[in-house]
Amino acid sequence: MPPPFAPAGEGHLRALLITLLVTGLVLLAWRIASVLLLAFGGVLAAVLLRHLALLLSRWTRLPVGASLAAVVIGLVLLGVLFSLSVGSEVAAQFGQLWDALPRALQRVQDFIAEHEWGREILAAGEPPRPGTLLSMATGVVGTLVGALGDALLVVVVALFLAADPRPYRRGLLHLIPLERRARAIEILDALDTGLWRWILGQSVAMLVVGTVTATGLWLLGIPLALALGILAGLLNVIPYLGPILSGAPAVLIAFAQSPNDALYTLLLFVFIQNLEGYVLTPMLQRRAVAIPPALGILTIVALGSLFGAYGVLVATPLLLVIMILVKMIYVEDALGDRIGDLS
């Protein structure tokens, strides 16, 4: 007969082993956080490629593999066509923008120094160096351009995942108990759908914001409108903070012409931000998971402080994944709350 305290002892040992395992996995994830962020970026790109291939396959009746090849070739051709048509102009404008921003910042400092209140502000401390604002405004874009190796890794991971996601999906499901496997499939499908809708909505928003910004700046007669519009579209991938990062260099460039131009440019960005926040985003997120703004900003700031630019870029879709998991695993399954919106 086993000792009366054996089951309890085995239970404590099992709990201890599970705790050590979870702790070890958390520490390992922390050590390889940059790799995991790149892998998540590859998952996002794979979701985009896979769904585009599925749409093309549905329209043309081609096999999914052939549709994926057509999508990749089409995207490459679009990039080549863009480079041949306006690529040189865009590169030239970004070069001019890089040179013009320090001069524009100096122009702002000179304008402030012309007033007594401005001289008091400048005398209170060392004026910011011209390169400081430039590095802040272009930090994310500069990181992406410089990290060619990381971008290549993301592309390779995305191509493998998009070409055949079934082995990875089956491997993940094998870790789930049989009685919970059907629910796990529902959760994986919900994650796939949620990420696809976010990517689609974000892509449309980036295109609209970039186009409207470039057009508005061109109508206002602001120099480098095309480069500033592309910058606004790219930085729009960072919700709430992206418009500030893209608006600052545009206002500085406009201020180099005149304070009135800077005011009109600022009003243009306020209009675009309201257009996106109150019209475009609600329309695009009608069928997607709505992310509370305060929670989104805190997540972006937290991941940005922990992991830099990569953390900022994946903060919103990562928060979306966490919200779906909490809703389906904890709220619906653990708490049994399937009412939905309680507001």
Range of the domain at 127: 89-147+179-334
Residue 242, domain member (yes or no) = yes
Structure confidence at residue 320 (pLDDT): 93
Note the pLDDT tens digit of each residue in 297-307: 899 889 888 88
If pLDDT is split at 50, 70 and 90, which confidence band does 182 have?
very high
Burial class (CB in 10 A: 0-12, 13-18, 19+), 235: buried
Other residues' Cβ atoms within 10 Å of the Cβ of residue 331: 15
The burial of 78, by beta-carbon neighbours within 10 Å (0-12 exposed, 13-18 middle, 19 or more buried), is given as exposed
More confident residue, 110 or 150: 150
Cα distance between residue 325 and residue 316, in whole Å: 14
**In whole angstroms, what is the distance from residue 48 CA to residue 189 CA?**
14
Tokens of 102: 């320090």
Least confident of 97-111, 247-261, 263-277: 97-111
343 — pLDDT class (breaks 50, 70, 90): very low
Residue with tokens 């239970």: 11
pLDDT at residue 196 greater than cutoff 80: yes
Question: Is residue 244 predicted with pLDDT exceeding 70?
Answer: yes
Count of all residues that appear for the chain in the document: 343
Tokens 């702002």, located at residue: 108
Phi (first) and psi of residue 153, to 5 degrees? -60, -45
* Residue type at 218 in one-letter notation: W
For the segment 99-104, the average pLDDT, to the nearest whole number, is 76
Q: Is pLDDT of 199 > 70? A: yes
Mean pLDDT to the nearest integer, 148-169 = 89
Q: How many domains does the chain have?
A: 1
Q: Give residue-wise pLDDT tens across range 74-90.
A: 999 988 888 887 777 77
Place of tokens 């493998």: 160
DSSP state of 335: S
For the ranges 81-95, 214-228, 229-243, the lowest mean pLDDT is seen at 81-95
Q: What mean pLDDT is predicted for residues 130-149?
A: 52
Mean pLDDT across the chain:
82
| pLDDT of 124 | 54
| The two structure tokens encoding residue 21 | 């395992």
The alpha carbon dihedral of 197, 237, 315, 160 has a sign of positive
Please give the biggest Cα pair distance in the chain: 93
Q: In Å, how far from its chain's centre is CA 238?
A: 5
Prediction pTM value: 0.77
User: Is 14 among the domain residues?
Assistant: no
What totals of helices (H) and strands (E) does the chain contain, helices first?
Answer: 16, 0
Question: Is the CA virtual torsion 8, 10, 14, 20 positive or negative?
Answer: positive
Amino acid residing at 220: L
Say what the pLDDT of residue 274 is.
85
Q: How far apart are CA 24 and CA 17, in angstroms?
A: 10
Q: Name which of 165, 138, 163 is nearest 252 in CA terms.
A: 138
193: in domain = yes
318 CB neighbour count, 10 Å cutoff:
16
Give the separation between CA 77 and CA 81, rounded to whole angstroms: 6
